[in-house]
Each structure stands twice: as C-alpha cells, then as structure tokens.
Chains A and B, each alone.
Chain A
Amino acid sequence: MSGLLMPKADDATMSRRSDIVTALRAIVPGEGVVDATNAMRVFESDALTAYRQLPLVVVLPQTVAQVSRVLKYCHENNVKVVPRGSGTSLSGGALPLEDAVLLVMSRFNQILEIDYPNRVAVVQPGVTNLGITKAVEHEGFYYAPDPSSQIACSIGGNVAENSGGVHCLKYGLTANNVLGLEMVLITGEVVRLGGKHLDSEGYDLLGLMTGSEGLLGVVTEVTVRILQKPATARALMVGFPTSEQAGKCVADIIAGGIIPGGMEMMDRPAIHAAEDFVHAGYPLDVEALLIIELDGPVVEVDHLISMVEAIAYKNGASTCVISQSEEERMAFWAGRKAAFPAVGRISPDYLCMDGTIPRKELPKVLAGMRELSEKYGLRVANVFHAGDGNLHPLILYDANIPEELHKAEDFGADILRLCVKVGGVLTGEHGVGVEKRELMPEMFNEIDLNQQIRVKCAFDDKHLLNPGKVFPQLHRCAELGRMHVHRGQVPFPEIPRF
C-alpha cells in the first residue's frame, strides 16, 4: 500500500485555487484560512505518518455558520473537503488531498454546558477527550471512553472513529456514550441528532454517524454522558507460562460474571520492551501478562480481586501481584501505557495494527503471527485488549531499509486477513481510513460494500466529503441507484409461495 493511490486530483479545482482561497477568506476571516505551503506543512499527515500530502488550502472555522457556509460553497463548486480534528488518526482518515479543503475543527474548543443532574456535557468537537474529564472531575465525574491518545485527540475525531479505550469493556465505546450531535451536511444544512434525551424518534442516524470517518457530515457539537468516578480501583498483574492459559483465564473471569474495568494482555516481546523502558516490575520469564483492573465500591473490588486471583491460579498463573496502593496500580499500567513508545525504542519504526478476533482464537492467531514474522523476517510485539478481543500487533521495521515499509505493510495485511479468517474484523477502533481501504473486500462482498456506499449517497451524493477513505472504490450514486428488476422477470409460480 506504500504506493497509495488517492483519487485523481481534479484539474479544474486546482486551477481555481486562488478563487477558492478568496471565497473561503470571505467566509472565515483573519487567520482562519491558511494557504502558505510552509504553514500548511503541519497538517500534511495524521498519525499514520508514512503518508503525507499538502492540502489545497486549510480552513479553521470558528462558528457553525462558517462551517455551514464553507460546506455550502464547496458543494456548489464541487470542491472536496477533508475534515480534521487533532490529527491523531492511525489509519490516515485525516490525510489531506491535493485538491481538497482541509477543514480543521480545532478552534471549536469550548465546553458549552455541563449538566450534572442529567449527567451530560455538551461540548464542541475540538475539545480533547481528556478535556471533558478535566472539566468535570472536580465534581467526581469523568467521560468514560479513554483512548490512549486522550490528551490530544478530539471528541469530534472520537465520534468519527467510534474510538475505544482500556475501559470500554465495562463502559462501552464512543457510540455508547454519545447522546447527541449537531452536524453540518455537505449542503450546508445543519441537523441535530438526539440530544440530552435518549434514543431517536426515527432512524438511528447517530449510530450511523459514529464511526463514519468524516465521510457523512461535519460534527459541530457533541452531547456526551458523564459518569461518576468509581469509588476505587485496584489491579492485578498476572503472568502465565503460555498465552493459552492467559486466554483461558480471561474467558473464565467473564464466564464468572465479572466484567473488569480493564483487562489487557501483553506478549513476551511487548513485556520485555515495556519493562526495559519503564521498569514497571513486570516478570520477564512469562509468555503472557495480564493486567486486570477492577473498579467500584471498595467491598466489591476486594470481593472480586479474590475471585479473580483464584481464577488466575486455577489457570496456571506463575505470578500474581495485587496492587496495594494507587502508586502500585499506576505502576502496573505504566508499562502497558508506554508499550508503543517502548517498542519505538527497540525499533526505528513500527506499524500499529488493530484487528479484533473472537477471544478463543487468540492462541491460533498468535501462532499464525509467529509464522508470518519468520516469513517476513520482521519482529512483532502484541498488546491486546483481552476482554474484547481487540489486538494491536506492533510490527517493527526500519523505514531506511528499502522495501521494509512495504514488507511491514504486507505483513500487517496478512495479520488482518488472519483476523477475518477466524471470525474477526479488520479494525476494532482505529478505523479503515486509507490504511485498510484495500482490505475491505476481505470482509465484505460487492453487495455489502455497495449498500454502505449507498448510505454515503444519502448524505453526500457528490462524494465530496473525505473521498478516497474507507472504500476501495466509490461508485457514483446514480450508478448505484439503478435497479434491474422488471415485472415478470422474476420467476413467480403459484401463491402462496413458501
């Protein structure tokens, strides 16, 4: 995929660039329109840094009316638009296009309302994920989905990617914690979905928007659920001689009716890299390490800790340490949370993959990865949201060695194919973006994909919003709309039929 093919730039748009810039300046005054090459450099990639592209022009609107007018202008003039939050996407979702306006939502950074009795916060999309928690924590509240990038990533980006985090096993993903959105369609129309109340009067458009990767509309306001912080949290750090035993332990915990606040697994290479980096006290003689966090009232946590400990030993744990203090709990997590940078220390570059598998398939998938690792001659370290089957294999490579990025990408694609083969999916939380676009047919046939594109057609029939992402090929809506059924062509003998 290193030779990434993006939609061909539209010459007509390119030749009108200065007109477009002028028109946008009339809508967003001052610093809000950036067209100097140097100033646009910071936006040329998201966190999938292997791909870079300067946009046509960058616009940073500040009001909903501006967003609406920019989109309306682009719609009327057939100009493509790529929405961007904080640019932490790992799948290239916010990668600019040469002939598209990059619509950066970072100036929408206000918390509009905090409503404790109804337990919601209404925020602008550029507010960071952690920013929401920071705004409510003095009252003991927090926003539950916690992607590792939470210091930086925006809530608008979270909605677009349906982001998850360590605590999603118990508290749900973005989709389960967002109650309402305001968004602007490519036509400039402003619509509101949901609100502080629950569920929709009609189709679940909120559900369709969440995880739609900026292809359906631009989010301008988000209403989220805030929760009271659990009274306490404690963690267990459990080592196993084999990953099968660790996997069985996870299954038994859940079968026992326990849904931990978080349940993470690391394999040997990840354990070693993390331990060398942060000295969390991880055992180095194990094949798999589980970090299991239990949260809730003190009596509940104590009760569950002893249940989990028993389950761990029953499944052959070779070490099991229970946190006795907040410092110790944080230390257990420090290694896991630093896993990516830790791997970054032992390898010049790495690719972070994001498949999900049925949990029971873990040993098979790990074995398959070992084989692939030998085949490609590249190392791989695994961190795993064990409770919900979301794998993050980190493929180690060196971009300075010719062809190694290419090899790493092929290795990654093979891992994702393996995930799909055992009943899993291509991406659990990072999105398809440009990265997994070409792999979509591994999971979906043409009919499946066409129906998804038809959803896109209902929102954006000119395919102006974030084209080149998610779908290997965007068929024209008129073509997809055609029906080929005619009276009498379907064989129909006697009624009743079945």
Chain B
Amino acid sequence: MTIFTPKTEDEIVEAVQWALSENAPVEIVGHGSKRNLGRPLQTEHTIALSEYSGVTLYEPDELVLSAKAGTSVAELETLLEENGQAFQFEPMDYGPLLGQAAGQGTFGGLLATNLCGPRRLKSGSARDHVLGVRVVSGRGELFKSGGRVVKNVTGYDLSKGMANSWGTLGIATEITFKVLPAPETETTLVVRGLADDEAARAMAIAMGSSGEVASAAHLPLNVSGRVIDGDLKGDASTLLRLEGFAPSVNDRAAMLKGLLVSAGTIVDISGDTSRKLWQEVRDVIPFADGTEQPVWRVSMVPMEAYKLVASLRMGAAVDAFYDWQGGLVWLRMEGEPEAEAVRALIKKYGGGHATLVRASTSVRAALPVFEPQPVPLAALSKRLKQQFDPSGILNPGRMVAGV
C-alpha cells in the first residue's frame, strides 16, 4: 500500500503514469478524511492531494479565484469572507453528518462531488460556478479546459464534466471558480405548523413570487427542534431565506408575509441566527447523530417529493426534512436503507435520483450507492470513463460497480 502525496503537478502526472505502467488502480482523495463512506474502494494505492495546495490567483474585482486541488475549502472560504465575498453556491460540509470534523473538504473534492447548498435553486451548484480546470487524466496526460472568464464557449466544457465525476475521470490539479459578493443582509421567515404538503405549496408560492427567495426549506415537527439550539422546537418550520441589501430584504419580507398570511403564523429570524440556521440545514445537522443509520440524499421535483416521504412512512420508520423548495429530501432510515422502495417511489413520483450518503461499509458494498442509470445512459457514461481512463486505474468502482 502506497500513499502518494505529490507536491507538484509534475509529480501528479508521474504518479498516474506509474500507476498506468504498473496497471495498479489508485484511489484519489483530497484529505481522504471521510473515506469510509460512499462506495468502498479496493485499491491498494492512494494519491492524496492534500499537499498540493495553495491559492494561485485571487482577483476580487474580477470575481475569480484559482487554487490547487488540495487546498482546504475552509481556508478558501475564510479568504473570501475577508474580502466580503463567497462561493455563492454554499458548498456543504459532509463532515458532521459522516461523524468527522467539520472543515476538512478540499477544493478538488468540492468539484468532484459537485457540492452545493440551500441556495441551489437560485444560485446553482459547483458545476454552475466552475470556470476552468487543469486535470491529469487516467491516461497520465495533463489537459486544461475553460479559463478564468465567465462567458466562454470555446470547446467542450470539460470543467463541468469533472463535476460529480468522483475522481473517476481525472485528477483535478488546479481549479478556477467564479466568486461573488456575499449578501449584505439576510433574514429568514419561518412559517410555523405546516404539514409537508402544505409546506410544499407555501414554498412554491414564495419561490414563484417576485420576493426573490434565496432558499426555501421545510423542517417537519420532529426535525424542527434539532437546529439553532432547539429554538424552533414544538412545531414544524417552513423556512424562507431573503438576502440582499437591507431595504430590499425588508420590503420583500413584508410582501411575502402578506402573500402567506393565511398559511400560518410567521416569525422572523435574522442576522447570525439566520446564517447559523441555513448552515445547519446545509450540513444536515438534524441527522448528524454520530450513528451509521442510513441517510439518503434525494433530488426530486419539488411538488412531488413530499409524496415519496408520505408513502415511505406507511412502511418504514423514516425521518425526513426538505431543502430546495422541497426538491431535496434528506431521509434518515431507522432500519434498513430500503433502497428498492426509495427508488421505486422516486420513479412513481416524477423521477429524480437518490444517493446513499451514509451507511455501514457492508451496506454500501452491497447496494448501488448512486442512482442506477437506464441502459443507454449507463453505456454512454461507461464510454466516457473509457475515453478519460482507458485502463480503469482511477477510483475504479467508485460510482458504479465494475466501472
């Protein structure tokens, strides 16, 4: 078992070329701090990017930041914050949910897992903000794609191709992202006491209004008490986040309160408490319980997702809460993962996909962690993998068994 910790791009290329010449599959990790989750890998060797780190370009006026792949996301976020900026897509931190320390993720891992957060509907995910990449492919060749400017259609967008590829296509060495000013003010309106279906309707009304709602989440009764130190316990909470310049936030808050006047009691949470609330929703703190109870991340059509939860509840003990206007469901199963039931219900209710983000190693080895694809699409994905990594040496089996 060898762990390569390259310190230069050349060393990353060399490590892959070595793996190729030895026909020895390698696992790609950022910090590799949370490796005991996802589809377990059986590679003997590891390439860890943690020592290939550092910011290579940051021009706040140009809204652009480049860094080496092993740079810690937490460090980048601190740098941005000092300049009044942020990654607008709010990359979540899986650490707490996976029973690890927070703040361990790397820049490369952020892109490879296409992280995002509660602003997903309005501001997209990592794939919507990446501008350029340098990558070492499974052929041991360094290529680049994209650039440092926002408007760019020169050639295929291989930067997006790296998003959600889980280190199976190539090793990103250096990545360029668009950054944006952090919102000046934020406030959250909390509608109390809605059932899941009522919440879905209220969120749809809010998101479809001119209130420019940045995020909409729903915490059912038994989840509501597990955020911001229990301040919201006692009733379900439907959360609507408003961001921007203060006069605008206040105006929109008043407008939305009028629009939702018949929905239920509405309370305001502002400033740092609001920020903490959304960070806890983002990082799935309600299920960060230190256990290995199965947790699903399900992306569905917003107005359908609550039906999946209701149906599941008829046959199994589940805990659920919703982000993205209801379209992102975090499900914690009290017993088995019930993969077949979950996936059948997704198909029944308008389609989408489910990823088993937490479960014991044996469960993850036995189940497709990622949503299985229809045959032609799976074949296309496999062909793409072959074009980047013909010898199958990068993270084999990470996403799909045998690929």
Contacts and interface: CB of A to CB of B under 8 A. Distances in A.
A444 B144 CA distance: 8
A498 B384 contact: no
Given A190-B376, A360-B62, 12 more contacts: A117-B302, A199-B353, A207-B157, A210-B160, A257-B181, A296-B244, A296-B248, A424-B147, A432-B155, A447-B141, A489-B21, A497-B15
A356 B147 CA distance: 10
Contacts of A432: 153-155
Given A204-B161, A452-B156, A490-B18, A299 B248 contact: yes
Contacts of B182: 257
Contact of B244 (A300, A360, A436, A456): A300
A60 interface: no
A141 B208 CA distance: 8
Interface stretch (A25-33, A161-169, A330-338): A161-169
Contacts of B6: 497-498
Contacts of B301: 118, 195-197
Interface in B352-384: 352-353, 355, 370-371, 373-374, 376-377, 380-381, 383-384
B147 A203 contact: no
B255 interface: yes
Interface string A253-267: 011111100000000
Q: Which 4 A-B pairs have the closest CB atoms?
A: A207-B160, A300-B248, A428-B151, A201-B353
A440 B155 contact: yes
B149 A195 contact: no
Interface in B188-211: 201, 204, 207-210
A429 B160 contact: no
Given A204-B164, A359-B62, A116 B208 contact: yes
Interface of A: 115-119, 140-141, 161-162, 164, 168-169, 172-173, 175-176, 185, 189-193, 195-205, 207-208, 210-212, 228-231, 251, 254-259, 296-300, 303-304, 356-360, 385, 388-390, 423-432, 436, 440, 443-444, 447-452, 454-459, 470, 481, 483, 485-490, 492, 495-498
Interface of B: 2-7, 11, 14-15, 17-18, 20-23, 51, 59-64, 84, 114, 116, 120-121, 124-125, 127-128, 137, 139-145, 147-158, 160-161, 163-165, 169, 180-184, 201, 204, 207-210, 212, 244-245, 247-248, 250-252, 255, 299-303, 324, 327-328, 350-353, 355, 370-371, 373-374, 376-377, 380-381, 383-384, 386-388, 390-391, 399-400
A258 B63 CA distance: 12
A205 B350 CA distance: 20
B299 A358 contact: no
For A198, A357, A427, A448, which residue has the most chain B Cβ atoms within 10 angstroms? A198
Given A175-B128, A496-B2, A197 B247 contact: no
14 contacts: A118-B327, A175-B128, A201-B373, A202-B381, A230-B212, A251-B61, A254-B61, A256-B181, A299-B250, A360-B61, A388-B150, A447-B141, A458-B384, A488-B21
Nearest to B351: A195
A196 B209 contact: no
A197 B299 contact: yes
B128 A228 contact: no
Contacts of B355: 201
Contacts of A426: 154
A458 B387 contact: yes
A436 B328 CA distance: 41
B120 A198 contact: yes
Nearest to A489: B21
A391 B58 CA distance: 23
A149 B72 CA distance: 43
A230 B327 contact: no
B18 A497 contact: yes
A198 B149 contact: no
Given A175-B160, A424-B147, A451-B137, A297 B251 contact: yes
Contacts of B148: 358, 423
Contacts of A168: 151
Nearest to A232: B210
A489 B22 CA distance: 10
Contacts of A388: 149-151
A425 B144 CA distance: 13
B60 A448 contact: no
For B116, B303, B373, B387, which residue has the most chain A Cβ atoms within 10 angstroms? B387
B161 A496 contact: no
Contacts of B153: 161-162, 211, 427-432
Given A210-B157, A231-B210, A176 B149 contact: no
B387 A454 contact: yes
A259 B3 contact: no
Contacts of A297: 210, 212, 248, 251-252, 255
A208 B62 contact: no
Contact of B21 (A173, A451, A485): A485
B61 A255 contact: yes
Nearest to B140: A485
B170 to A, nearest CB: 9
- Interface SS, A side: loop
B210 A203 contact: no
Nearest to B131: A425
A207 B128 CA distance: 9
A489 B300 CA distance: 49
A118 B149 contact: no
Given A204-B114, A495-B2, A481 B158 contact: no
B158 A496 contact: no
Contact of B157 (A211, A389, A447, A457): A211
B163 A207 contact: yes
Contacts of B303: 115, 117-118
Contact of A428 (B23, B114, B152, B212): B152
A203 B161 contact: yes
A390 B252 contact: no
Contacts of A447: 141-143
A440 B148 CA distance: 17
Contacts of B207: 119
A487 B151 contact: no
A173 B151 CA distance: 8
Contacts of A485: 17, 20-21, 140
A490 B144 CA distance: 23
B15 A202 contact: no
A442 to B, nearest CB: 10
Contact of A455 (B21, B125, B161, B164): B161
A356 B151 contact: yes
A189 B61 contact: no
B149 A424 contact: yes
Nearest to B212: A296
A234 to B, nearest CB: 14
Given A229-B210, A432-B154, A497-B11, A490 B21 contact: yes
B128 A172 contact: yes
Contacts of A196: 301, 350-351
Nearest to B301: A196
B150 A389 contact: yes
Contacts of B400: 202
A117 B161 contact: no
A272 B118 CA distance: 46
Nearest to A140: B210
Given A200-B353, A425-B152, A487-B23, A455 B2 contact: no
Contacts of B128: 172, 175-176
B302 A118 contact: yes
A140 B259 CA distance: 15
